[in-house]
Structures are given as structure tokens and as C-alpha cells.
Structure 1
Amino acid sequence: MTDPIVQLSQATKQFIDGKDRHCVLDQVDFSLHAGQSVALTGASGSGKSTLLNVIAGFESLSSGVLAINGESVEQWKDPQWSLFRHRKLGVVFQQFNLLTPLNVRQNISFPLSLNNQKWSEWCDHLVKKLEIDGLLDRHVASLSGGQQQRVAIARSLAHKPALLLADEPTGNLDQQAGLEVMRLLTEISSEGETSVVLVTHSSECADFMDTRYHLSNGQLHD
């Protein structure tokens, strides 16, 4: 079997607040293989987003090991992290984080430009599947929340990343729109052979993933 895309071993993350020490991840073991999709559930403040941030390299572990494709990232510097994020990683945020001065096509093309890639047939497929092909020349600030979330998903998958991290991607949508977005995200990720780690409060959204873990008291539970 090939190395996991992501492997955390005895991963611990602590935050210090004055004299208090908060342990949000407590010796967590976690692995994600190619083609796998995982949902992380848990109460607010349980460390779900922290776990995503650690995988993406936005936060470092207090102790333990994070390996990407079998390689420990302990010695990675900014260039290695940037290369990983540009080529292998897609991220969908709850707040969309679109580039508001740009139109839809320019937002989706942004990760392509970081990899010296051009708009492709895959991009045409994405925007058609997400039903935003008629919005490419619209500025994103003029779109509804549901439309902006679809643009964010297209942007995150335009470069066919090996790994997608989705942090409450339906949190700002009503239930029906959220479930439709999850269906599309799951279908397109599968088509692009992208592994997914999803943070969600929604049991319905978690059901779209192959595996579900619950995070509480710093521990992952099946």
C-alpha cells in the first residue's frame, strides 16, 4: 500500500493563554489515503479547524509528527509549504475568501496561475457541473452566497489537487443549498481523484464522506 497522503502520529497542539495551557489536540493519530474522504465533527472549539490548519501548514504542532506523502514536514520551510499548497492542496473556507476585485473566471484561474497552468477542459467541466458557467464574467461581490460557495469550490479544485480541506463549506447556506453543494463537491472531488477532509457540524453533510470521526477532549473517536 502506498504511503498515506496525510499521516499524523501522536499529534499534540497546545495554546497558552496567560498562565493557562489549553490542549486542543492530544496525541492524535490520523491518516488519509488516496481517494478517501473523511468528515470531522465535534463541538465548536473542539479543535476541528486547528487540525485542518495543521495539515495545511498554517499552524505547527506542539509535539508529534505530521507526514505528507510519507515525508515528515518537521524541516519544511516556507518554499516547501508553498509548493505543497500550490500544487497538491485545495481549501474551501466557510467565508468563501474569494478575491472580490476579480470576476468569477479570474478567481477560478488564480490557483492555475500559481502553477503556470491555463484554463482547461476540466475547468469547463467544473463550472458547468456547478452551474456557474453563465457567471464567469460577473464580479463575485454581485453573487449570492450559494453562487459564491460554488465559485470557491471550483477555485479549490481547478488545479486537480490531491487533497481538499473543507472547513464548514455549507455553514453560510440554508439546508437545501448546503446539501446540494455537498453533493456537487463530493461528485467533483471523486471525478478529480481528490481526497477530502471535511469539517462540519452537520450530520447530513458528514454522511457524504466515507468515514466520520468525532473530535472531543483533544481525541478522535470513531
Structure 2
Amino acid sequence: MPNSALVSLNSVNKQFVDGNEVHAVLSDCELVMATGSSIALMGASGSGKSTLMNIIAGFEPLNSGKLVLDGQDTSQWRDSDWSDFRIHKLGVVFQQFNLLTPLNVRQNIAFPLSLAQMQWNDWCDYLVETLGLSGLLDRHVAALSGGQQQRVAIARALASQPKLLLADEPTGNLDEQSGREVMQLLADITQQGNTAVLLVTHSEECAAFMQSRLRLVNGQLYDAS
């Protein structure tokens, strides 16, 4: 498996200002994530797990420190650089799905492919079959259950075979069996060495599918393996 650094956070700090109060979320946070690795990110609610993922995805700016993605220092990145990274190298599974409701299931899954100028392929068929979406491709996503929408969101995030997948509680709306199947899929793609996975979860069972565990406490990451 390749071991080059795909994600590197060095002394990253993040605060939110609420009136006259400053709330520190990340304090000199350090993280190195190798290509093809998988990490379960755990911690109490409100500890900053989603904020950390949003910083890596470029949705939230950091206040200080350095974020390096695939060998590139992001401190000088413009919006176009972030867009290029997200289109070609990043997949994200949001807690709220963020599906495109005017579109059907197939169109939602294919959307990141169109951005990357890719076509529907055998990998997409594999995802659809593995995630139990074969009979739903023509259904509008607004008509799906929460669990079905969750599976569409996962297929969409993985469709372009990104180098990095950020998944925020991806099994939260799935039944136990479906949740295990999704976690096995995430474990399998990292074992192939193609996609690194950073998984936010409260579930010890889900965390067990990842190669290592980190716990976010008082703004810093600690080995919880």
C-alpha cells in the first residue's frame, strides 16, 4: 500500500467568535494521513470533528497553522484550486446528504463524474449494486427514505474514485445490516490502496472497520487505536 502523505495538518488552530467570547475548537492540531489509509475520527459531540473535516475540505478556513493536501500547501490556494481538488481528488459524505433534489438517483451519482469529465463506468455499476440502488436509479431522490438517500450520497461521493473520502457519520440513517455493508465497502476501497478514508463516527463497531482510530479531545488528536 502506498504510504505517501495525502493529508498533513501542522499546528492547526481554529476558533469561533461569539460576541465577546472566543471558542477554541482546534488547538495546535496535528494529523498525517497516508494515501490509501483509513482513520476513524471519534470524540464527544461538539468536540470539533465536523469542523476538522470542513477545514480539510476547504469549507472552513483555519486561523493558523498549515494544511498540506497531496503535497501542496493550501495556504495560497484560490477558489479555483479548491474546486480542482474537490472535483478530481475529494469525495464527501455529509450528515445532511446534500443531494440534488431535482435530479434522480442516477443523475445524482453521475454529477461528480460530469464535473470531472468522466463517464459512467463499471465502478459506478459496482457501487450501485453493492449499495442496493439498482432498482432506484430512475427515482427522484426526494421520494427516497433517509436510508436510501444516505446510500445515494455514499455512491455519489465514491463515483469518481477520489484519492480522499471524508465521511461524516455515513451509517447514521442505515439499519444494522446496511451499515455493516457500507463499512465493509469503505474498508475494501482503502485496502485497494486507491482511496483514503477519514470517517467521523460515534460507533465503535464502525470504527473497527478502519485501520486506526483518533480521538479529538480539547482541540487535539490522540491515538485511540
Q: Do both share a fold (TM > 0.5)?
A: yes
Distance 1:132 1:120, change over 3 A: same
Matched residue, 2:124: 123
C-alpha displacement at 1:13, in angstroms? Answer: 0.6
Question: Is the CA contact 1:94–1:172 (under 8 Å) kept in the aligned structure 2?
Answer: no
Q: Give SS of 1:5's match.
A: strand
Confirm or deny that 1:136 pairs with 2:174: no
Question: Is the CA contact 1:40–1:198 (under 8 Å) kept in the aligned structure 2?
Answer: yes
Distance 1:28 1:116, change over 3 A: same
Question: Is the CA contact 2:3–2:36 (under 8 Å) kept in the aligned structure 1?
Answer: no
Q: Distance in 1 between matches of 2:67 and 2:140?
A: 38
Confirm or deny that 1:181 pairs with 2:182: yes
CA deviations 1:74-98 (Å, max 9, x no partner) are: 0001000000000000000122111
Q: Give SS of 1:171's match.
A: coil
Q: Distance in 2 between matches of 1:2 and 1:70?
A: 13
Confirm or deny that 1:212 pairs with 2:203: no
Confirm or deny that 1:82 pairs with 2:89: no
TM-score, normalised via structure 1 length: 0.94
Q: Distance in 1 between matches of 2:143 and 2:191?
A: 30
Q: Give SS of 1:8's match.
A: strand
Matched residue, 2:30: 29
Q: Distance in 1 between matches of 2:134 and 2:20?
A: 53
CA deviations 1:27-53 (Å, max 9, x no partner) are: 011011111000110011101001000
Distance 1:175 1:124, change over 3 A: closer
Gaps of 5+ in 1: none
Confirm or deny that 1:91 pairs with 2:92: yes
C-alpha displacement at 1:140, in angstroms? Answer: 1.3
Gaps of 5+ in 2: none
How many aligned residue pairs are there? 222
C-alpha displacement at 1:173, in angstroms? Answer: 3.0
Q: Distance in 2 between matches of 1:93 and 1:186?
A: 18
C-alpha displacement at 1:188, in angstroms? Answer: 4.2
Q: Distance in 1 between matches of 2:36 and 2:215?
A: 21
Question: Is the CA contact 2:37–2:190 (under 8 Å) kept in the aligned structure 1?
Answer: no
C-alpha displacement at 1:186, in angstroms? Answer: 2.6
Distance 1:219 1:11, change over 3 A: same
Q: Distance in 2 between matches of 1:192 and 1:160?
A: 11
Distance 1:205 1:156, change over 3 A: same
What are the residue-to-residue correspondences of 1:11-90 with 2, within 5 Å? 11-90=12-91
Q: What code does the residue aligned with 2:77 have?
A: W
The answer to which of 175-184 and 51-60 deviates more is 175-184
Matched residue, 1:151: 152
Q: Distance in 2 between matches of 1:117 and 1:205?
A: 31
TM-score, normalised via structure 2 length: 0.93
Q: Distance in 1 between matches of 2:75 and 2:66?
A: 7
Q: Give SS of 2:153's match.
A: helix
Q: Distance in 2 between matches of 1:81 and 1:184?
A: 27
Confirm or deny that 1:111 pairs with 2:87: no
Cα RMSD after superposing both structures: 1.6
